[in-house]
Structure 1
Amino acid sequence: MAGHSKWKNIAHRKGKQDAARGKIFTRLSKEIMVAARQGGGDPTANARLRLAISKAREHNMPNDNIERVIKKATGELEGVNYEEISYEGYGPAGVAVYVEVVTDSRNRAASDMRHIFSKYGGNLGESGCVSWMFDKKGIININKADITIDEEELLLLALDAGADDLIGDEDAFEIVTEPDSFEQVKEQLVAADIQINSSEITMVPQNTISLTGDDAKKMLKLMEKLEENDDVQNVYANFDISDEDMQKYHS
């Protein structure tokens, strides 16, 4: 979980930079569009769309933008046809890397993934080669400074709501849920006046590989280049890097 959390912190900082360039809205729009195409444009009947809209609102995407994307997905407005593809491979020291792509060009996406993996110290693998090393989980992040109850009270509240676990560090708590109970846990936390910093359904590694020195530097560069690709929605990897090396090698 440590590697997951550290990279998400980096991704969060990067997300702020992306927002200035408009990239984060593009990724959120793609997620809304795919969700609406698959399950319909009514968020009350489409859990994935509800989650995508919630994430868009967390990033202050205007409602007009959200509604326009849904209309494009359902055919009310003309729009681009996107498809979801996953790519799996390995980074330095055998780190498992799982990439989720939403693209309007399968050939371009495949070419880009091969190029990035090979240029930055990785190897693109076959479908299924690393996905088994990750579990799909709901992660709800809460800043310690934002709540008045202690860890034991928060744990009991989370477990009663249907969560699996509570993990704390110096500054924050992460509540872990199964995907099916994610929305229920969020709703009960909000009802209890618990301020949520961020929430998502993500892929959590079952085990992590500790990286140092050159391997750590190469791994962070690979992750950075994958995240920068316009077709990439999410990147997951099972590495763990010390805070010192994280600060040293991540620009």
Structure 2
Amino acid sequence: MSGHNRWSKIKRKKEAQGAAKGNLFTKLIKEITVSARMGGGDPNGNARLRAAIDAAKEANMPADNIARALKKGTGELEGVSYEEAVYEGYGPGGVALIVECLTDNKNRTAGDVRSTFTKAGGNLAAEGAVAWNFERRGIIEVKPGPSEEQVMEAAIEGGAEDVVSQGADGFEVRTLPGDLQPVVAALDAKRFKLGARKITFVPKDTVKLQDPDKARQMLKLVDLLEDLDDVQHVHANFEIDDRLMDQLA
């Protein structure tokens, strides 16, 4: 999914430049709060919380913000009570999407997600319609430097499932969700430079978008969904050729 990865990197660069950092921080605070509420405030025993804190640190969120979000989750500080909501749908070209939300008003969120799909040429689907095509996995980015053999050896020793080369951008290590932290520790022990660590949905099969209009429409749909306040993550199974991605970018 090289074109998809290229698009993801463009998004992260914009966030790092500050254009979307406020929105990103809000989403990360929600994730830390809910993760702590659901699985406890100790990141060593809560893989989802550990991944959320790592993501916040990667985004250079101030430590005080992380601590406050954690205390709201454990009940030490008062805060808004968020519920999880997951929506499934289809985008242009038959692309499958999973939209993860944290909300204090499910009716509002459902309406916003539905109208956004419609606006960008997609449609909501019934529960289970596309979820079968995704697997829950831990993802660790390893920055360029070590060889694929070195990353593979350390990752497998730590309990990883797979290592995917990202070319000049390094490697992506994939794990079962509960194995994320042991694999991070194994890679850290080798002094590899690590990027984002997260628990996400990985598609089993992808749809290659070759039509520029459909590809542009698909990227617009994901952008619009991610801009919604209640949306935490958007997962999709599209693939765009690097050459076409360069044109669209």
Q: What's the CA shift string for 1:166-191, capped at 9, x where partnerless?
A: 11132121111111211111001101
Structure-1 residue corresponding to 2:30: 30
Structure-1 residue corresponding to 2:172: 174
Structure-2 residue corresponding to 1:91: 91
Query: Could you tell me whether the CA contact under 8 Å between 1:3 and 1:238 is conserved in 2?
Result: no
SS of 1:22's partner is: helix
C-alpha distance in 2 between matches for 1:109 and 1:20? 20
Letter in 1 for 2:205: N
C-alpha distance in 2 between matches for 1:175 and 1:197? 11
Which TM-score applies when normalising by structure 2? 0.92
Query: Could you tell me whether the CA contact under 8 Å between 2:160 and 2:173 is conserved in 1?
Result: yes
Query: Could you tell me whether the CA contact under 8 Å between 2:98 and 2:131 is conserved in 1?
Result: yes
Structure-1 residue corresponding to 2:248: 249
Deviation at 1:21, TM superposition (A): 4.5
Matched, 1:135 2:135: yes
Percent identical residues: 49
C-alpha distance in 2 between matches for 1:7 and 1:138? 20
Query: Could you tell me whether the CA contact under 8 Å between 1:88 and 1:130 is conserved in 2?
Result: yes
Single out whichever of 103-112 and 153-162 deviates more from structure 2.
153-162
C-alpha distance in 2 between matches for 1:63 and 1:12? 20
SS of 1:107's partner is: helix
Query: Could you tell me whether the CA contact under 8 Å between 2:84 and 2:102 is conserved in 1?
Result: yes
C-alpha distance in 2 between matches for 1:4 and 1:205? 12
SS of 2:194's partner is: coil
Query: Could you tell me whether the CA contact under 8 Å between 1:220 and 1:249 is conserved in 2?
Result: no
Structure-2 residue corresponding to 1:120: 120
Letter in 1 for 2:160: A
Query: Could you tell me whether the CA contact under 8 Å between 1:139 and 1:174 is conserved in 2?
Result: yes
Q: 1:140 to 1:88 in 2, by over 3 A?
A: same
Letter in 2 for 1:218: Q
Structure-2 residue corresponding to 1:234: 233
SS of 1:81's partner is: coil
Structure-1 residue corresponding to 2:151: 154
C-alpha distance in 2 between matches for 1:248 and 1:3? 11
Query: Could you tell me whether the CA contact under 8 Å between 2:54 and 2:197 is conserved in 1?
Result: no
Deviation at 1:96, TM superposition (A): 0.2
Query: Could you tell me whether the CA contact under 8 Å between 1:25 and 1:61 is conserved in 2?
Result: yes
C-alpha distance in 2 between matches for 1:153 and 1:93? 38
Query: Could you tell me whether the CA contact under 8 Å between 1:116 and 1:225 is conserved in 2?
Result: yes
Matched, 1:195 2:180: no
Query: Could you tell me whether the CA contact under 8 Å between 1:19 and 1:25 is conserved in 2?
Result: no
Q: Give the count of matched residue pairs.
A: 247
**Residue segments in structure 2 that go unaligned for 5+ positions in a row:** none
C-alpha distance in 1 between matches for 2:192 and 2:219? 33
Which TM-score applies when normalising by structure 1? 0.92
C-alpha distance in 2 between matches for 1:103 and 1:207? 30
C-alpha distance in 2 between matches for 1:157 and 1:95? 34
C-alpha distance in 2 between matches for 1:6 and 1:239? 12
**Residue segments in structure 1 that go unaligned for 5+ positions in a row:** none
Deviation at 1:244, TM superposition (A): 2.1
Single out whichever of 189-198 and 25-34 deviates more from structure 2.
189-198
Query: Could you tell me whether the CA contact under 8 Å between 1:117 and 1:222 is conserved in 2?
Result: yes
